[in-house]
Amino acid sequence: MNSLLSRNHWFTQDRGWCKRANALGRQSLVLRYFSTISRLGDGVFWYGLMVVFSVFFGAAGAKAAVHLAATGIVSLLLYKGLKHWTRRPRPFASDISIKAWIAPLDEFSFPSGHTLHAVTFTLLAMAYFPMSGWLLIPFTASVALSRVILGLHYPSDVAAATVIGSLLASLSLWMVPGASLLQ
């Protein structure tokens, strides 16, 4: 019984944090910033990064871009499978006090695909080009925050995606011999 009560308490906390973050979307500058970040996180930013790597860093950049793209496909399949399996409703769909400030790309909430991709791509990109962290870390943090502020994910969706993305990036770097320029 205690574990059930503690699980319900945790879900209540998760929903409460989501509501507080979602309320920030009422401020027009906050909404514009996080809506833009979220749309860039749909893929545009990452595709652009792969092109920049390939154009400006030659063979090393192309190697990084191919690694990002291949891992991105695995990430896509992984998060779509998890969403289909868990079928967790999005916050705005399960609580009328939470507003979806933008339209979601799919039906389910767990895990956050945007966050999973952002974390995975950031860690891989930084393995190849460590100086890219000054841009990628704040962007990835903004993507993760955007998902909760926009009412599309619970904080636990974003936290789980961060862990999964970190594990996927680590596994990918381990599996691909000479995967980074740091080796």
Per-residue burial over 104-127, b = 16 or more CB atoms within 10 Å of its CB, e = otherwise: beeebbbbbbbbbbbbbbbbbbbb
Which tokens sit at 90?
């999005």
Backbone angles phi and psi of 151, in degrees to 5:
80, 15
> For the chain, what is the mean pLDDT?
91
Span 129-163, pLDDT tens digits: 999 999 999 999 999 999 999 999 999 999 999 99
Residue 130 DSSP class: G
pLDDT of residue 16: 87
Residue 90 DSSP class: P
pTM: 0.90
Which tokens sit at 67?
């690694």
Span 33-78, pLDDT tens digits: 999 999 999 999 999 999 999 999 999 999 999 999 999 999 999 9
Which domains are present in the chain? Answer: 25-175 (1.10.606.20)
How many Å is the maximal CA-CA distance in the chain? 60
pLDDT of residue 37: 97
Surface-to-core class of residue 99, CB atoms within 10 Å of its CB (0-12 exposed, 13-18 middle, 19+ buried): middle
Q: How far is residue 118 CA from its own chain's centroid?
A: 5
Nearest to 173 by CA among 129, 124, 140: 124
pLDDT of residue 50: 97
Span 72-115, pLDDT tens digits: 999 999 999 999 999 999 999 988 999 999 989 888 999 999 99
Contact 109, 160 (CB under 8 A): no
